[in-house]
Amino acid sequence: MIHKILRHGADVLHQPSALVTNFTPEIQSLIDDMVQTMYSANGIGLAAPQIGVALRIFVVDISAGKNIDDLITFVNPILTKKEGIQLEEEGCLSLPGFNSKIIRPEKATVTGLNREGDSHTVEATGLLARAFQHEIDHLDGKLFVDRLKGLQKSLILRRVKKLSRTGEW
């Protein structure tokens, strides 16, 4: 099932998510829904809070559905190692129409559980490392705009506020 993707301002996007404690059929269905929702929105990553579920789950596919083997699911992920630096343009399905250059580590190692509940670790670089870090931010109640400072952050937030007032958000 394809879900509505929540936008900046929704409470669940601005608070930490809870750990998954049981791998129930509902969790499996949620993961399937997240994958369908991500692909339907032409995204490369989606965290459970973005569809209103405050659980520590994310899905990432930097091929955007072109290669099913690129689909990665993490439950209860932990960023265990990061190194280097990259400055790249970043956007978000919860902030449609807004992009900004964000500094993140070039390499990231994430450990957690896969959709079956088995432990797995993925070492990533470049776009995949960025996607992992972006989605973990969602699980911690942060959006990319929260990493910005000064005028850049202010301009985006003012524009979102204006769109909210006019009902376009």
Active-site residue numbers?
135
Contact predicate 101/152, CB 8 Å? no
Q: DSSP of 81-124, one letter per residue?
A: EEES-EEEEEE-TTSTT-EEEEEE-SEEEEEEE-TTS-EEEEEE
Burial class (CB in 10 A: 0-12, 13-18, 19+), 166: exposed
Residues paired with residue 161 on neighbouring β-strands, in sequence order: none
The pair of three-digit structure tokens given for residue 165, joined into one six-digit string: 């007032």
Three-state DSSP class for residue 25 = helix
- Alpha-carbon distances, residue 114 vs 34, 37, 59, 75 (angstroms): 14, 19, 10, 6
